[in-house]
Structure 1
């Protein structure tokens, strides 16, 4: 059984990961808005990015918002991924099923 300090450290690690990954996703939206402002994208393309952002953040939230022993397991998974150099592409996970299917066919 984990001590209070270990549980707190696990919650802090998961919260830091959540915030960092959320920042990566927000950057995607920021770039899309910048392209819109520069005339490189239309409003519908930005809207699609915002929808993907929303789907991605829901996936990320589900991964990070845990309680009890689950947060400890999530923290250990985050540590293992960092040690192994593995990353979860939350942006890709937020892609629509249609878009993911098109990418699978292109490979």
Structure 2
């Protein structure tokens, strides 16, 4: 059950339902998780700086169970996600930052319980 949070200073109009769906599908494929388990939120139009510049940028947070728990895995994920974001949003790699968070099943609640029991 991955969680993807994209924060950006790009305007909301950039993020049509089609772009959101593509983002969800791309990250699901990257993490090898079913797309129907993805949780995606985009917060556009934020005042932001990356490397001291307010040029268009993205900060992406990816949290997931068992697939973001090593440098080797996250290197592969990072490469694929950067490829998607640079192509889809027209940003250069220096304007994108990704954070990976490893979750344990007991840290994710669903259906009145936690993933450990589902």
TM-score, structure 1 length as denominator?
0.27
Structure with bigger RCO (C-alpha 8 Å, 6+ apart)? 1
User: Which structure's residues are more often helix, by fraction?
Assistant: 1
Bigger Rg over Cα = 1
User: Which structure's residues are more often strand, by fraction?
Assistant: 2
